[in-house]
Amino acid sequence: MSSKSALGLNRKEGRSLYFYYYAIKNGAFIFIAFSILMLSVIGSPITESLRGTFLDLATHTVKLTVRPFQTVSLLLKNSASYLQLNSKYMELKSKVEELEHWEAIARQFFNENAKLRTALHMGPKEGIQFITAEAYDQIKNKDSHTLLIDAGRAQGVEKDQVVVSNLQIIGRVIDVGERSARVLLINDIKSRVPAVTEVSQNEGILSGSKFNQLILSLSKGDRASEVGEFVFTTGKGGIFPKGYKIGTIESIDGDKIVVHSAIDWDNINYVQVITSPLEDIVRDKEEKGEIS
């Protein structure tokens, strides 16, 4: 069965039509060429005019015949250029995505390195033993603020050890596992830290609140405290060593003092757990004249 073309012709009919087309076309060119030749033999003005007309007609016919092929050739060249450009674009896009991926990894390592450097340089003072641990989860609600760290008994962590960050006390260990521990933060409503104001020397108990504030309730002292004074631990109670900074006085309302801590409670990444016994810490500070 013979196949039909888009015009409804079979292959044999198509070949015949193709032959007739080129036969007519070639015949036309031969006729034009012969006519021009004959006209060139006859040297009258009329023949000169006819020869020019035939020449214009032949030139126009050649232009019409060649132009579609020129257009197709140009389109093919443009298509090839487009495909090459598209291939190059996809290659460059892939390389850019790969570079962005490695940039993100490098940035992550840079940030972690910066945090570790900060942790190493902001630990407790020389002579006091401590463990640097990563804080990987903070549990908080309106009444509770605790922090989980990745150090436990295997690293020397014990219950009631003091935890600091950036040389400021942030809490104490309340639960200890083999390789993890839970820290009660000083802004927890159940936290109690004996504290004293630096200049006025007024003593009191520092606790957390439902509003994530540190509240110092005065119990001893006659001098008026002032906004901006530093607040330190007193060392009383046998848990928190004396002389560690807690924060600064933010506002005063009678015996209720709001203390501002420089700690960013929502972004605690690394902490130091003080493993030295309390008496060693106090003795070390007394020898250095930091407390009396």
Q: Domain 130-287: which topology?
A: Thrombin, subunit H (2.40.10)
Query: Who wins on pLDDT, 86 or 207?
Result: 207
> Of 136-140, 163-167, 287-291, which range is least confident?
287-291
Q: Are 135 and 268 in contact (CB under 8 A)?
A: yes
Which range, 35-44, 73-82, 140-149, 165-174, has the best average confidence (pLDDT)? 165-174
HSE at residue 152, side-chain half, CA atoms within 13 A, is 10
Query: Who wins on pLDDT, 104 or 193?
Result: 193
Report the pLDDT value the prediction gives residue 112, as an integer from 0 to 100.
66
In this model, does residue 221 exceed pLDDT 80? no
Compute the distance between CA of residue 149 and CA of residue 177 in angstroms, rounded to an integer.
Answer: 10
Beta carbons within 8 Å of 199's beta carbon, 6+ residues apart: 225, 226, 229
SS (H, E, C) 119-148: HHHCCCCCCCCEEEEEEEEEEECCCCEEEE
Query: Who wins on pLDDT, 261 or 222?
Result: 261
- Classify 269 as helix, strand or coil: coil
Report the pLDDT value the prediction gives residue 192, as an integer from 0 to 100.
92
pLDDT band, very low/low/confident/very high, at 178 (cuts 50, 70, 90): very high
Compute the distance between CA of residue 269 and CA of residue 72 in angstroms, rounded to an integer.
Answer: 66
In this model, does residue 167 exceed pLDDT 90? no
Report the pLDDT value the prediction gives residue 165, as an integer from 0 to 100.
84
> Average pLDDT, whole number, for the chain?
74
pLDDT band, very low/low/confident/very high, at 7 (cuts 50, 70, 90): very low
End-to-end CA distance of the chain: 114
Query: Who wins on pLDDT, 156 or 119?
Result: 156
pLDDT band, very low/low/confident/very high, at 115 (cuts 50, 70, 90): low
In this model, does residue 1 exceed pLDDT 50? no
Domain with CATH 2.40.10.340 in the chain: 130-287
Query: Who wins on pLDDT, 112 or 285?
Result: 112
Report the pLDDT value the prediction gives residue 259, as an integer from 0 to 100.
92
> Of 87-101, 154-168, 273-287, which range is least confident?
273-287
Q: Are 263 and 163 in contact (CB under 8 A)?
A: no
Beta carbons within 8 Å of 80's beta carbon, 6+ residues apart: none
pLDDT band, very low/low/confident/very high, at 219 (cuts 50, 70, 90): confident
Query: Who wins on pLDDT, 49 or 251?
Result: 251
Q: What is the pTM of this model?
A: 0.54
Report the pLDDT value the prediction gives residue 8, as an integer from 0 to 100.
47
Q: Are 20 and 9 in contact (CB under 8 A)?
A: no
Quick one: average pLDDT of 158-169?
Answer: 87
> Of 90-99, 104-113, 118-127, 187-196, which range is least confident?
118-127
Query: Who wins on pLDDT, 17 or 247?
Result: 247
